[in-house]
Amino acid sequence: MKASDTKATLSFSNGGQPVELPIYKGTMGPDVIDIRKLYAQTGMFTYDPGFMSTASCESAITYIDGDKGELLYRGYPIEQLATNCDYLETCYLLLNGDLPNAEQKAKFSDTVTHHTMVNEQMQFFLRGFRRDAHPMAIMTGLVGALSAFYHDSTDINNPAHREISAVRLIAKMPTLVAMAYKYNMGQPYMYPRNDLSYAGNFLHMMFATPCEEYKVSPVLERALDRIFILHADHEQNASTSTVRLCGSSGTNPFAAIAAGVACLWGPAHGGANEAALNMLYDIQKEGGVEKIGEFIKKVKDKNSSVKLMGFGHRVYKNYDPRAKLMQETCNEVLTEMGLEKDPLFALAKQLEKIALEDEYFVSRKLYPNVDFYSGIVQRAIGIPVNLFTGIFALARTVGWIAQLNEMIGDPDYKIGRPRQLFEGSPKRDVKPIASR
Ligand code: CMC
């Protein structure tokens, strides 16, 4: 951390001793005020539920400039990565700090490809779930269960264990997501195919059956690969912070990633793509484009609790750059599938246009986020709505691991242990039950 010449002074209106606090500068973004010694110096905590003004860690992985609508992985703009690189190169970048050369890329792809099978016993574990279980419920269980199958990679403090668990998680997530889907469908699981790309293999495991040959469409393969790249990491969001906090206790990587999967499930986070598509279906059912005005009215009504799903972001106060790329992919996929006139896509574009002109959204700087269009793309590929968040989890796994490994690799890391402002009862005595 680079110290700034400026220092912050915290003074108290009751005449308490002022405290001087160091300020640190990052390479980009807001400076931070170091409050680590504040409690020792003043006996006070800071209060910041929702981490509105708190940097929870140092990181060199992903940077978002929310005002500019810019997203960088290890310094590279998401637009360049989405256009010039594939997902496994992006994984290598997030894990290792720079893009691979041709040899490194080939070696990394080969290693990941040769870890895609899961222990055969996993399918019997999967059978314990109801067939109609939500895929995220299944994924939370399956990812956690990996720690019961791969005992040789569970020591988070061992760099070799961290490396192999990273490869295993990246390699096996597509297999697990596809298994969860096939289980829902009552179809046989398809084993991974090592001659296919990461995204191509996933399409194969999802949509092939043993009955006939399945040909991977290069357009869908590229679209899926782009979805993976766009979701690969996103700084200290809720699920990443969950993974870091969970991992800070020293638990094994599979357990920490399972915690991330569970967090991602929520509709304010990874579940938003599912919620956004369901919202579009609902508007469509009620009359389509004609009903947008009425729907927007409900969204703006403080008493209605209806949100425009796929809009708004804690960090982006401008267009989410991933949404632009996703809209482009949406066009490509719908053309490939002969769905150029897809009414849901037309509805989404009209809804976006109206919202972007509306004073409510303009004044709050609410723009489409990645989830606004990703549901339409996934639906066109044939992915069922309830699996959208599973696809997000698959793609985000590399980000979670990179962030977890960054934290564990830092010799100064400590178990995460937030403090609180206690508002409950002061100390009191338990009365005998008869007199309560
Ligand atoms: N529709 C309507 N109003 C909204 C929306 C929305 N989607 N998002 C924010 N607002 C309003 C909110 O009511 C508040 O208004 P007011 O100031 O009058 O009370 C104002 O905008 C600020 O919102 P906030 O809830 O304080 O903002 P936040 O940073 O806490 O929440 C968010 C961010 C993503 C949870 C929220 O925008 C939201 O719920 N969006 C819909 C869900 C969604 O699309 N989530 C995906 C996020 S991107 C994928 C990911 O990274 O996980």
Question: Ligand 1 pocket test: which of 51, 307, 363 has the largest number of ligand atoms within 8 Å of its C-beta?
Answer: 307
293 burial (CB, 10 Å; 0-12 / 13-18 / 19+) is exposed
Collect all residues with Cβ–Cβ distance below 8 Å to 226 and sequence separation of at least 6.
82, 325, 326, 329
pLDDT for the residue numbered 100: 98
CA 271 to ligand 1 center in whole angstroms? 13
Alpha carbons 352 and 330: distance in angstroms, whole number: 14
- What's the confidence (pLDDT) of residue 152? 86
Closest Cα to atom 28 of ligand 1? 314
Nearest CA to ligand 1 atom 39: 268
Q: Which residue's CA is minimally distant from atom 31 of ligand 1?
A: 314
* Each residue's pLDDT tens digit, 79-128: 999 999 999 999 999 999 999 999 999 999 999 999 999 999 999 999 99
- C-alpha 188 – ligand 1 centre gap (Å): 40
| CB atoms near residue 44 (< 10 Å) | 14
Ligand 1 atom with the smallest distance to the CA of 264 is 52
Residues in Cβ contact with 318 at an 8 Å cutoff, skipping those fewer than 6 apart? 66, 67, 68, 69, 365, 367
Res 75 pLDDT > 90: yes
Query: How far does residue 295's CA lie from ligand 1's centre (Å)?
Result: 16
Its pTM stands at: 0.92
What contacts 24+ positions apart, CB below 8 Å, involve 303-306? none
Residues 10, 237, 224: CA angle, nearest 5 degrees = 155
Give the rounded percent of residues in the chain with a pLDDT score beyond 90.
78
Q: Quick count: other Cβ atoms within 10 Å of Cβ 115?
A: 17
Confidence band for 411, pLDDT divided at 50, 70 and 90: confident
Residue positions annotated with a catalytic role:
313, 371
Query: In this structure, what DSSP letter does residue 187 have?
Result: P
pLDDT number for residue 5: 87
With a cut of 90, say whether residue 346 has pLDDT above it: no
Residues in CB range of 210: below 8 A, 6 or more apart: 188, 190
**pLDDT, average across residues 366-377:** 88
